[in-house]
Amino acid sequence: MSYLNVTEVESAVVSLATAFPSLTRLIALPEPSVEGRRSHALLIGAESVAPKDSCVLTGGLHAREWGSCEILVHLAADLLEAYQGHSGLAYGGTAFTADQVRRLLNGLDLVVFPLVNPDGRRYSQALEPMWRKNRDPAASGGDPARIGVDINRNFDFLFDFTTAFAPTAGPRVSTDPLDEVYQGPRPFSEPETRNVAWLFDALPRTRWYVDVHSHAQDMLYVWGDDENQSVEPDMNFRNPAFDGARGAADDLDYAEFLEKGDADTALLLAARFCQGLHGVRGRTYKPMSAFHLYPTSGTSDDYAFSRHLVDPDKGKILAFTIEWGEQFQPPWAEMERIILDVDAGLVQFCLAAI
């Protein structure tokens, strides 16, 4: 086996829905990509009289991070086969019993959207392996080098980073279409980004979100714009009084407010993911806030968590980003091992969440 192409990822999602009709629901995302490709997510969970909370998993936002799609497709297949077969799961040295598998799918709706950016993945696999963005030509002016928007900088969180951040902060985001972290002309300018936001709206009981990326061997939790603090609630991303102060490390001017209960839970769940992963073959991933990787704005995880703060009618979503492995496209033999690592971590994460 090797990395899946765009057609194979979509076919795998649809095939799992066909093979396990009593445990799945196929979700058609409303907007085609810029090049006209349509995508599906897969809701996995046993039928329940009472409504269940959801955990949404996305992958493939960045085109060159090929293995994220495979991680999520394999996770879905593993859980469905184990549940239907009344068996457990074994990932190297980390194992889960049949009862744990049943508890997971009986207690949670797991929503897997493995390929958010199909155009970018197709282009990366066919022509330019290190391509990161989507394939939107709107800002290119006919220049192929200026095509595309970084999907994971296009969400509505501190989008006006030149105003929000300190001049010295240097967040990893850009207004230049030549840059691989080009944010786009406005929040949600891209259909791929709007599909993710639509999924949150369509699943109002979503309580957890994990976006799968590479590479750094980390499990990140919010926030990405600055260090976290749980003391001064007025010091938050919505307060313009702190414009120009965000994003600088080791300063006293700003830190992003995160309620202590949320901070404690986020760290606990990130640590559980790392523990499950470590048990497979001894790999060590680090649980930490996203800011400690580098400062960002417009990311999927910060947007997901910020929604309930901007609009109290929206449910709170604790949000995370996995940075798997040490290469964007490791040799397939190593990618197979990484799939086992991350899937074990994700099962452990979900069991700790419910």
Residue with tokens 């990932």: 91
- Domain containing 137 equals 6-353
Using CA atoms, how far residue 198 sits from 37, 148, 187, 195, in Å, is: 17, 21, 14, 5
Whether 308 is in a domain gets the answer: yes
Assigned domain for 88 exists? yes
Q: Quick one: pLDDT at residue 145?
A: 94
Question: Domain for residue 122, yes or no?
Answer: yes
Mean pLDDT of 35-57: 96
In this predicted structure, the answer to whether residue 253 has a pLDDT above a threshold of 80 is yes
Q: What is the pLDDT of residue 1?
A: 72
Residue 1 included in any domain:
no
* Average pLDDT over all residues of the chain: 97
CA dihedral of 280, 332, 324, 30, whole degrees rounded to 10:
-120
Residue predicted with more confidence, 58 or 1: 58
Per-residue pLDDT, averaged over 190-212, amounts to 98
Q: Is 280's pLDDT higher than 90?
A: yes
CA-to-CA distance for 59 and 115, rounded, in angstroms?
A: 5
Digit-coded pLDDT (tens) for 216-229: 999 999 999 999 99
Could you give the number of structural domains in the chain? 1
295 inside domain? yes
What average pLDDT does the segment 9-26 reach?
A: 98
As given in the structure block, the two tokens for residue 222 are 């919010």
In 3D space, the residue among 305, 144, 282, 286 whose CA is nearest the CA of residue 224 turns out to be 305
Contact indicator for 295, 106 with CB cutoff of 8 Å: no
> What's the mean pLDDT in 309-317?
97
With a cut of 90, say whether residue 56 has pLDDT above it: yes
DSSP 246-292: BT-TT-SS--EE--HHHHHHHHHHHHHHHHHHHHHH----EEEEGGG
How would you classify the pairing of strands 206-214 and 318-324? parallel
Tokens 């910020």 map to which residue?
306
Distance CA 138, CA 193 (A): 15
CA distances from 326 to 19, 213, 216, 297 (A): 34, 11, 6, 23
257 pairs with which residues across the strands?
229
Contacts of residue 100, Cβ cutoff 8 Å, sequence gap at least 6: 88, 347, 351
Residue 75: its pLDDT value, please?
A: 98
Q: How far apart are CA 159 and CA 156, in angstroms?
A: 6
Q: By CB neighbour count within 10 A (0-12 exposed, 13-18 middle, 19+ buried), where does 3 fall?
A: middle
Angle separating helix axes 332-353 and 98-107, nearest 10 degrees? 70
In a domain, 31, yes or no: yes
Read off the CATH number of the domain in which 124 is found.
Answer: 3.40.630.10
Q: 322, 210 in Cβ contact below 8 A?
A: yes
